[in-house]
Amino acid sequence: MHDSPIYFADDLSAMRHALALAEGAIGLSDPNPRVGCVIVATDGRLLGSGHTQAAGAAHAEVMALRDAQARGADLQGVLMRGATAFVTLEPCSHHGRTPPCCEALIGAGLARVVAAIEDPNPQVAGQGMARLAAAGLQTSVGLLADEARELNIGFFSRMQTGLPFVRMKIAASMDGRTALLNGRSQWITGSPARSDGHAWRRRAGAILTGIGTLRDDNPRLDVRLVPTALQPLRVVIDSRLETPVDAQVLAPPGEVLIYCAIDPQTQAPHAQALRAGGATLIEIAGAKAKVDLAGVLRDLGTRGVNELHIEAGHKLNGSLLREGLVDELLVYMAPKLLGPGLEMAALGPFESLQEVQSWRWLDCSMIGEDLRLRARPRRD
């Protein structure tokens, strides 16, 4: 052991450390949850730690055991005897792409496992803790559960509802405009807000926009301003299959999904060109020759998208909001007054204040010279 040892005063501080480590799995472990694990000796000393790697590679528990070995701990040896694993999500008990973590923890000779929260995956859902208890380990669940759920809010959403957690990003002035009447919007917010926006893109399994924004802004929809190991899926809502073949969204490597409301065969040459450009075309028709947005979310859920990041215009924003499909608003608000211009979302007109969309503020931070406001649907 080269480094000077780290000691934890109590379970809470060990779990906090595991949660901080779990953030290292953002932009890496999707569609698997972000999990951190620390293994702590009876005297409070940190023996090993780690977080989930890319899908198919090691989970947090195995990374922590390997780290302990690398630091000189003898598995099944003196240090491990009586040790506790703090893990931010219940260890898996099933054989997926990797062997179950429960068996690794049992095999290492640990005495106790503390999990922040039960795994919502129906293949786990308490069976992991039961397996550990059956093997004679002390177990407990619930320490910093809210923080652990928040870190994997998309994974919990997908496991519990089949749908991704939908976060809608909007950059606006304080009078609620996203562009001038002439469409100019570059840049309402500053460079730190744009980088922060990419940090939220990085959390997402997919970034979604509409054909209107594709035409007006020709976005790339990738993660550029912050480092990432994974690039999210890029998704376009394009009812009539009008995405230009030279759209920038087709340029970066990786998969692009284009959801349309028509049979791509009716546009065979264009469809073929889009496919050649790397796009997968998916017909999910809803009412009025539009794409069925709820159907898109279900489809993205089956594709393993935990968090879905929306960057669209007022029309698509309005449709998603009217249908109640948005779980979080992420608003970068510049200290500017734009006067007449494009609105955040096409909604209403409403006749009474009882009809309007009510949310609750989650938090507010300064990002450079702009404010970042987050809101979630009000449930009452």
Task: Return the active site residues.
Answer: 61
339 binds a second copy (CB under 8 A): yes
Q: Which of 175, 246, 263, 323 binds a second copy (CB under 8 A)?
A: 175
Q: Residue 104 in 3-state DSSP?
A: helix
273 binds a second copy (CB under 8 A): no
Distance CA 309, CA 197 (A): 10
Is the C-alpha dihedral spanning 189, 214, 164, 201 positive or negative?
negative
Tokens representing 151?
A: 């870190």
Contact (CB, 8 A) for 284 and 296: yes
Q: Which stretch binds a second copy (CB under 8 A): 25-33, 129-137, 166-174, 233-241?
A: 166-174
344 binds a second copy (CB under 8 A): yes
In eight-state DSSP terms, residue 92 is P
Smallest separation (angstroms) from a second copy to the CB of 342: 11
Q: Which stretch binds a second copy (CB under 8 A): 57-65, 169-177, 250-258, 297-305?
A: 169-177
Q: Which is nearer to a second copy, 114 or 333 (CB)?
A: 333
Angle of CA points 119, 109, 138, to nearest 5°: 50
Contact (CB, 8 A) for 30 and 309: no
90 binds a second copy (CB under 8 A): no
Q: Which is nearer to a second copy, 15 or 172 (CB)?
A: 172
Smallest separation (angstroms) from a second copy to the CB of 249: 24
Distance CA 263, CA 12 (A): 55
Q: Which is nearer to a second copy, 7 or 187 (CB)?
A: 187
Q: Which of 160, 186, 218, 266 binds a second copy (CB under 8 A)?
A: 186
Q: Which of 26, 204, 300, 373 binds a second copy (CB under 8 A)?
A: 373
Contact (CB, 8 A) for 192 and 368: yes
Q: Which of 88, 127, 173, 306 binds a second copy (CB under 8 A)?
A: 173
287 binds a second copy (CB under 8 A): no
379 binds a second copy (CB under 8 A): no
Distance CA 97, CA 188 (A): 45
Q: Which is nearer to a second copy, 85 or 331 (CB)?
A: 331
Distance CA 282, CA 78 (A): 57
Of the candidates 33, 29, 9, 156, which has an alpha carbon nearest to the alpha carbon of residue 87?
33
Whole-number Cα distances in Å, 4 to 42, 47, 71, 316: 17, 11, 11, 54
In eight-state DSSP terms, residue 171 is E
Q: Which is nearer to a second copy, 236 or 373 (CB)?
A: 373
Query: Could you give the string, one character per residue 309-338, with x where binding to a second copy holds by CB under 8 A and - elsewhere?
Result: ------------x-------x-x-x-xxxx
Report whether the peptide linkage leading into residue 253 is cis, meaning its omega lies within 30 degrees of zero.
no
Q: Which is nearer to a second copy, 74 or 369 (CB)?
A: 369
Q: Which is nearer to a second copy, 136 or 340 (CB)?
A: 340
Which residues does 270 contact at the CB level (< 8 Å), separation at least 6? Answer: 241, 245
Smallest separation (angstroms) from a second copy to the CB of 200: 18
The residues that touch a second copy, with contacts defined as CB under 8 A, are 172-177, 180-182, 184-188, 321, 329, 331, 333, 335-341, 343-353, 356-361, 364, 366, 369-371, 373, 375, 378
